[in-house]
Amino acid sequence: MEDASAQVLSRALPEEWIIRPIMKDYGVDYEIELVDQEIVSGNRIWVQLKSAEKVQRRTARYKIADKFPDLKSDGKGNICADYVSFSLSVKEIDYSQRCHFPLLLVLVDLSNEEAFWVPIREEVNHNLNLSEIHRKKQETATLRIPVWNSLSTESKTGFSGLRWFALEPARMYALSILHHFYHEFQYEGRLSGYSFGDGQLDDGEEDELRRSLVIARDTCNAALNLDVLFGDQ
Protein backbone atom coordinates (compact mmCIF):
# COMPACT_ATOMS: atom_id res chain seq x y z
CA MET A 1 0.00 0.00 0.00
CA GLU A 2 2.84 2.38 0.78
CA ASP A 3 4.39 2.05 -2.68
CA ALA A 4 0.99 2.33 -4.36
CA SER A 5 0.06 5.50 -2.45
CA ALA A 6 3.46 7.04 -3.26
CA GLN A 7 2.84 6.40 -6.96
CA VAL A 8 -0.59 8.05 -6.76
CA LEU A 9 0.96 11.07 -5.06
CA SER A 10 3.70 11.34 -7.68
CA ARG A 11 1.24 11.15 -10.59
CA ALA A 12 -1.09 13.72 -9.01
CA LEU A 13 1.60 16.42 -8.69
CA PRO A 14 3.29 18.39 -11.49
CA GLU A 15 5.99 16.30 -13.12
CA GLU A 16 8.68 18.94 -12.57
CA TRP A 17 8.14 19.18 -8.80
CA ILE A 18 10.84 17.48 -6.74
CA ILE A 19 9.60 14.77 -4.36
CA ARG A 20 12.16 13.73 -1.76
CA PRO A 21 11.40 10.74 0.50
CA ILE A 22 12.39 11.17 4.14
CA MET A 23 14.23 7.98 5.03
CA LYS A 24 14.21 8.28 8.83
CA ASP A 25 10.81 9.83 9.12
CA TYR A 26 8.74 10.63 12.16
CA GLY A 27 5.53 12.25 11.05
CA VAL A 28 7.02 13.32 7.70
CA ASP A 29 7.24 10.98 4.72
CA TYR A 30 8.09 13.37 1.88
CA GLU A 31 9.49 16.81 1.25
CA ILE A 32 8.13 18.38 -1.93
CA GLU A 33 9.84 21.35 -3.56
CA LEU A 34 7.99 23.44 -6.12
CA VAL A 35 9.55 23.99 -9.54
CA ASP A 36 8.14 26.39 -12.13
CA GLN A 37 9.50 26.76 -15.68
CA GLU A 38 12.60 24.80 -14.69
CA ILE A 39 13.31 27.22 -11.81
CA VAL A 40 13.62 25.55 -8.41
CA SER A 41 11.67 27.93 -6.18
CA GLY A 42 12.92 26.93 -2.73
CA ASN A 43 9.27 26.83 -1.62
CA ARG A 44 8.40 23.50 -0.02
CA ILE A 45 5.72 21.48 1.69
CA TRP A 46 6.09 18.41 3.84
CA VAL A 47 3.72 15.46 3.58
CA GLN A 48 2.55 12.76 5.92
CA LEU A 49 1.24 10.14 3.50
CA LYS A 50 -1.55 7.77 4.49
CA SER A 51 -3.70 5.43 2.43
CA ALA A 52 -6.84 3.33 2.56
CA GLU A 53 -8.20 0.64 0.27
CA LYS A 54 -11.40 2.68 0.01
CA VAL A 55 -12.32 5.83 1.91
CA GLN A 56 -15.88 6.47 3.00
CA ARG A 57 -17.46 9.78 2.08
CA ARG A 58 -19.69 11.30 4.72
CA THR A 59 -21.76 14.45 4.96
CA ALA A 60 -21.56 17.11 7.66
CA ARG A 61 -24.21 19.78 8.21
CA TYR A 62 -23.48 23.33 9.30
CA LYS A 63 -26.05 25.96 10.23
CA ILE A 64 -24.65 28.72 7.98
CA ALA A 65 -26.28 28.06 4.62
CA ASP A 66 -27.45 31.69 4.30
CA LYS A 67 -23.79 32.82 4.22
CA PHE A 68 -22.79 30.31 1.54
CA PRO A 69 -25.70 30.05 -0.91
CA ASP A 70 -23.57 28.29 -3.54
CA LEU A 71 -23.15 25.20 -1.37
CA LYS A 72 -25.84 22.56 -1.33
CA SER A 73 -28.37 22.82 1.49
CA ASP A 74 -30.65 20.32 3.17
CA GLY A 75 -33.58 22.74 2.90
CA LYS A 76 -33.44 23.61 6.60
CA GLY A 77 -30.78 26.28 6.46
CA ASN A 78 -27.93 23.82 6.87
CA ILE A 79 -24.98 23.47 4.52
CA CYS A 80 -24.17 19.92 3.50
CA ALA A 81 -20.43 19.40 3.06
CA ASP A 82 -18.98 16.05 2.03
CA TYR A 83 -15.75 14.91 3.62
CA VAL A 84 -13.50 11.92 4.14
CA SER A 85 -11.87 11.20 7.47
CA PHE A 86 -8.74 9.63 8.83
CA SER A 87 -7.61 8.89 12.37
CA LEU A 88 -4.11 10.01 13.31
CA SER A 89 -2.30 9.06 16.47
CA VAL A 90 -2.19 11.80 19.08
CA LYS A 91 1.61 11.55 18.98
CA GLU A 92 1.54 12.44 15.28
CA ILE A 93 -0.87 15.30 15.96
CA ASP A 94 1.32 16.66 18.75
CA TYR A 95 4.29 16.51 16.39
CA SER A 96 2.42 18.55 13.80
CA GLN A 97 1.73 21.23 16.41
CA ARG A 98 5.46 21.53 17.13
CA CYS A 99 6.38 21.85 13.45
CA HIS A 100 7.32 25.31 12.22
CA PHE A 101 6.78 24.32 8.59
CA PRO A 102 3.70 23.40 6.52
CA LEU A 103 2.92 19.75 7.24
CA LEU A 104 0.08 18.28 5.19
CA LEU A 105 -1.78 15.04 5.59
CA VAL A 106 -2.32 13.38 2.20
CA LEU A 107 -4.82 10.53 2.25
CA VAL A 108 -4.81 8.30 -0.83
CA ASP A 109 -7.95 6.39 -1.77
CA LEU A 110 -6.45 3.37 -3.54
CA SER A 111 -9.80 2.27 -4.97
CA ASN A 112 -9.94 5.21 -7.37
CA GLU A 113 -6.39 6.58 -7.03
CA GLU A 114 -7.59 9.90 -5.63
CA ALA A 115 -5.59 11.85 -3.06
CA PHE A 116 -7.11 14.21 -0.49
CA TRP A 117 -5.07 16.69 1.54
CA VAL A 118 -5.42 18.91 4.58
CA PRO A 119 -2.97 21.04 6.64
CA ILE A 120 -2.76 19.14 9.90
CA ARG A 121 -2.03 22.03 12.25
CA GLU A 122 -4.84 24.21 10.90
CA GLU A 123 -7.37 21.36 10.93
CA VAL A 124 -6.47 20.51 14.53
CA ASN A 125 -6.59 24.15 15.69
CA HIS A 126 -9.92 24.88 14.03
CA ASN A 127 -11.85 21.65 14.50
CA LEU A 128 -10.37 19.64 17.36
CA ASN A 129 -10.13 20.31 21.09
CA LEU A 130 -6.59 19.13 21.71
CA SER A 131 -6.75 19.85 25.46
CA GLU A 132 -9.85 17.66 25.76
CA ILE A 133 -8.18 14.92 23.71
CA HIS A 134 -5.21 14.92 26.09
CA ARG A 135 -7.48 15.06 29.15
CA LYS A 136 -9.29 11.95 27.96
CA LYS A 137 -5.93 10.32 27.16
CA GLN A 138 -7.06 9.45 23.66
CA GLU A 139 -4.57 7.61 21.50
CA THR A 140 -6.05 8.78 18.20
CA ALA A 141 -8.16 11.65 16.87
CA THR A 142 -10.07 11.92 13.61
CA LEU A 143 -9.38 14.61 11.03
CA ARG A 144 -11.98 15.54 8.43
CA ILE A 145 -10.86 16.38 4.90
CA PRO A 146 -13.36 18.17 2.62
CA VAL A 147 -13.74 16.22 -0.62
CA TRP A 148 -12.96 19.34 -2.64
CA ASN A 149 -9.48 19.22 -1.09
CA SER A 150 -8.36 16.67 -3.64
CA LEU A 151 -5.20 16.87 -5.71
CA SER A 152 -7.23 16.42 -8.89
CA THR A 153 -9.20 19.56 -7.97
CA GLU A 154 -5.96 21.33 -7.04
CA SER A 155 -4.52 20.63 -10.50
CA LYS A 156 -7.35 22.64 -12.08
CA THR A 157 -6.29 25.78 -10.18
CA GLY A 158 -2.55 25.41 -10.69
CA PHE A 159 -2.21 23.90 -7.21
CA SER A 160 -3.02 27.23 -5.58
CA GLY A 161 -3.73 25.67 -2.18
CA LEU A 162 -0.43 23.80 -2.01
CA ARG A 163 1.39 26.90 -3.23
CA TRP A 164 -0.14 28.95 -0.41
CA PHE A 165 1.20 26.60 2.24
CA ALA A 166 4.57 26.27 0.47
CA LEU A 167 4.98 30.05 0.94
CA GLU A 168 4.37 29.86 4.70
CA PRO A 169 8.09 29.92 5.71
CA ALA A 170 8.67 32.84 3.31
CA ARG A 171 5.79 34.77 4.89
CA MET A 172 7.20 34.18 8.36
CA TYR A 173 10.61 35.42 7.20
CA ALA A 174 9.00 38.52 5.67
CA LEU A 175 7.22 39.22 8.96
CA SER A 176 10.54 38.98 10.79
CA ILE A 177 11.92 41.59 8.35
CA LEU A 178 8.98 43.89 9.16
CA HIS A 179 9.74 43.40 12.86
CA HIS A 180 13.36 44.37 12.17
CA PHE A 181 12.27 47.48 10.25
CA TYR A 182 10.02 48.53 13.14
CA HIS A 183 12.77 48.29 15.74
CA GLU A 184 15.38 49.93 13.52
CA PHE A 185 13.10 52.91 12.99
CA GLN A 186 12.55 53.20 16.74
CA TYR A 187 16.31 53.58 17.15
CA GLU A 188 17.01 55.83 14.16
CA GLY A 189 13.88 57.89 13.56
CA ARG A 190 11.63 60.25 15.47
CA LEU A 191 8.31 61.65 14.26
CA SER A 192 6.91 63.13 17.47
CA GLY A 193 7.91 65.27 20.43
CA TYR A 194 9.15 68.26 18.44
CA SER A 195 8.94 71.81 19.87
CA PHE A 196 7.47 74.65 17.85
CA GLY A 197 8.11 78.36 18.34
CA ASP A 198 6.19 80.92 16.26
CA GLY A 199 5.10 78.07 13.99
CA GLN A 200 8.69 76.97 13.35
CA LEU A 201 10.68 74.01 14.55
CA ASP A 202 13.40 74.72 17.07
CA ASP A 203 16.99 74.83 15.84
CA GLY A 204 18.32 71.48 14.70
CA GLU A 205 14.96 69.73 14.78
CA GLU A 206 14.06 70.41 11.15
CA ASP A 207 17.05 68.38 9.94
CA GLU A 208 16.18 65.58 12.36
CA LEU A 209 12.60 65.49 11.15
CA ARG A 210 13.69 65.45 7.50
CA ARG A 211 16.09 62.58 8.22
CA SER A 212 13.36 60.65 10.07
CA LEU A 213 10.91 61.09 7.21
CA VAL A 214 13.50 59.80 4.73
CA ILE A 215 14.07 56.74 6.94
CA ALA A 216 10.29 56.20 7.20
CA ARG A 217 9.90 56.46 3.41
CA ASP A 218 12.73 54.04 2.70
CA THR A 219 11.48 51.59 5.33
CA CYS A 220 7.94 51.63 3.89
CA ASN A 221 9.27 51.11 0.36
CA ALA A 222 11.38 48.16 1.51
CA ALA A 223 8.39 46.67 3.33
CA LEU A 224 6.11 47.03 0.30
CA ASN A 225 8.70 45.24 -1.83
CA LEU A 226 8.11 42.06 0.19
CA ASP A 227 6.15 40.38 -2.61
CA VAL A 228 5.23 37.36 -0.52
CA LEU A 229 3.15 39.66 1.71
CA PHE A 230 2.02 42.50 -0.55
CA GLY A 231 2.18 41.17 -4.11
CA ASP A 232 3.81 42.86 -7.07
CA GLN A 233 2.86 46.40 -6.07
- 19-71 pLDDT tens trace: 999 987 678 999 999 999 889 999 999 999 999 998 888 887 766 555 555 56
pLDDT in tens, 111-122: 999 999 999 999
pTM value is: 0.77
Query: Do 61 and 80 form a contact (C-beta atoms < 8 A)?
Result: yes
Residues 92, 94, 96, 100, Cα dihedral to 10°: -150
Lowest mean pLDDT among 86-100, 111-125, 156-170, 184-198: 184-198
The predicted model gives 96-112 an average pLDDT of 92
Q: What is the pLDDT of residue 23?
A: 83
Environment class of residue 28 by beta-carbon count within 10 Å: exposed (0-12), middle (13-18) or buried (19+)?
buried
pLDDT in tens, 126-140: 889 999 999 999 999
Is residue 73's pLDDT more than 70? no
Beta bridge partners of 145: 84
Lowest mean pLDDT among 63-67, 82-86, 185-189, 225-229: 63-67
Q: What is the pLDDT of residue 10?
A: 95
Phi and psi at residue 231, to the nearest 5°: 80, -160
Q: What is the pLDDT of residue 144?
A: 92
